[in-house]
Amino acid sequence: MDAIIFWPFALLALLGAVLLIFHKNPIHSALALIMTLFSTAALFVMLHAGFVAVLQILVYAGAIMVLFIFVIMMLNLQREELGLRRHAAKKIVATVLALGIGLKFALVLTAQLLPRAELAASFGSVENVGMMVFNDYMLPFQAIGVLLLSAVIGAVVVAKTRF
């Protein structure tokens, strides 16, 4: 049962990531990333993280990606020519190194079977996560509010001023 849900979404997530990297048109790349984010949200639900899955769709796919698409459309970017014409050796070395690191990580992570904890029915609910954020992590929560405010002010200042 798990496999029927896991494999399609895992493959969709990987497909989205590959399309993101290798598509020439930035708008298509953004849409591919949205596909990856949606698939990951489905996997979050599989791991009993319903609240985070909803946040993922609302905040990431909803807010952040809309901002990206807005900027891409505003700047009216042209297609970027891809390929190995420039810096071919560097690009090949970079890809091989990244794949090597990924392979090493994957080997370490599959070395032993991870146990799955017994999860209560309310695990990952809005109530549980909310209680944790507003009790144990109150100070980080306040700090992140200040961070968001300063980020908004910073973004307006940077985008408005002519240097």
Partner 1 sequence: MSWLTTITLNHFLVLAVLLFTLGMIGVMLRKNGLIVFMCIELMLNAVNLAFITFAAMHGNEVGHTMVFFVMTVAAAEAAVGLAVFVALFRNKVTVYVDEAADLKL
* Footprint on residues 39-68 left by partner 1 (CB under 8 A): 40, 43-44, 47-49, 51-52, 55-56, 59-60, 63-64, 67-68
Please work out, in degrees rounded to the nearest 5, the angle formed at the alpha carbon of residue 37 by the alpha carbons of 104 and 25.
95
Least distance from partner 1 to the Cβ atom of residue 113, Å: 6
Asked if 46 contacts 52 with a C-beta cutoff of 8 angstroms, the reply is no
**Binds partner 1 (CB under 8 A): choice among 35, 54, 57, 72:** 72
For tokens 């009216």, the residue is 76
Q: Which of 8, 98, 138, 142 binds partner 1 (CB under 8 A)?
A: 98
Q: Could you tell me which of 28, 45, 37 has the C-alpha nearest to residue 62?
A: 37
Q: Name the maximum alpha-carbon separation found in the chain.
A: 58
Per rule CB under 8 A, count of chain residues that contact partner 1: 79
Residue environment code for 97-132, b if the CB has 16+ CB neighbours within 10 A, otherwise e: eeeeeeeeeeeeeeeeeeeeeeeeeeebeeeebeee
Considering only residues 131 to 160 of the shown chain, the ones binding partner 1 according to CB under 8 A are 132-133, 136-137, 140, 144, 147-148, 151-152, 154-156, 158-159
**10 is a site residue for partner 1 (CB under 8 A):** yes
Is 88 a residue that touches partner 1 (CB under 8 A)?
no
Which one of residues 85, 89, 115, 139 is an interface residue with partner 1 (CB under 8 A)? 115
